[in-house]
Amino acid sequence: MPPSVKVATAAIGVCLALAVVRGAVTSIEAGAGAAGILNAGVGVALGGLIMVGLFKRHRLAWQWGRLVGVLLVLEMAVLWATGAVPSRSIGDVALRGFNAGALLLAVIALSFPSAKRFFRLVCPQCGKISGKAADFFFTRATCKACRLTF
């Protein structure tokens, strides 16, 4: 596993651990309803699946790690900019900032050529790197340059 993928996996792992702790604390504090607990559970399950996939070199995990990372950072930015989530304390703001930074780090790390090589996204015919899926579960990729499916 190249350092870029290790960094991405570690960053996602830290975010996941924080989400679990934070979700537990918030649920106990505010008596979050079933919807809140379900929401947190789905997030943790998705993050866990992505981490397992990264370890197992699944291209789908590489794709979703980048996609979910970007979406979460955008969501945090929008919520922050619009003031939709009133920050209760400095610690809360710091935690959100740390999470956004870690996710951004994971997205950048997964975009490194070494990470793309690790997830077998280099075309065996022309050597170009391609992140284009050829099927729904991304078990096969399509080269953008020579259209080879591998």
Could you list the residues that contact Zn ion (CB under 5 A)? 123, 125-126, 128, 143, 145-146, 148
Name the residue nearer to Zn ion (CB basis): 39 or 149: 149
Nearest partner of 63 among 77, 49, 76, 73, judged by Cα: 49
Helix 3-30 with 59-82: angle, nearest 10 deg = 50
Least distance from Zn ion to the Cβ atom of residue 55, Å: 27
State the minimum distance, in angstroms, from the CB of residue 125 to Zn ion.
Answer: 5
Least distance (Å) between residue 148 CB and Zn ion: 5
Max CA separation in the chain (angstroms): 57
For residue 71, the minimal CB distance to Zn ion (Å) is 29
- Complex with Zn ion: residue 67 or 126, whichever CB lies closer: 126
Nearer to Zn ion, 103 or 143 (CB): 143
User: Residue 102 or residue 121: which is nearer to Zn ion going by CB?
Assistant: 121
* Alpha-carbon span 6 to 31, nearest angstrom: 36
Which positions ≥6 away from 148 have C-beta within 8 Å? 123, 124, 125, 126, 142
H-assigned helices in 3-149:
3-30, 34-55, 59-82, 90-110, 113-118
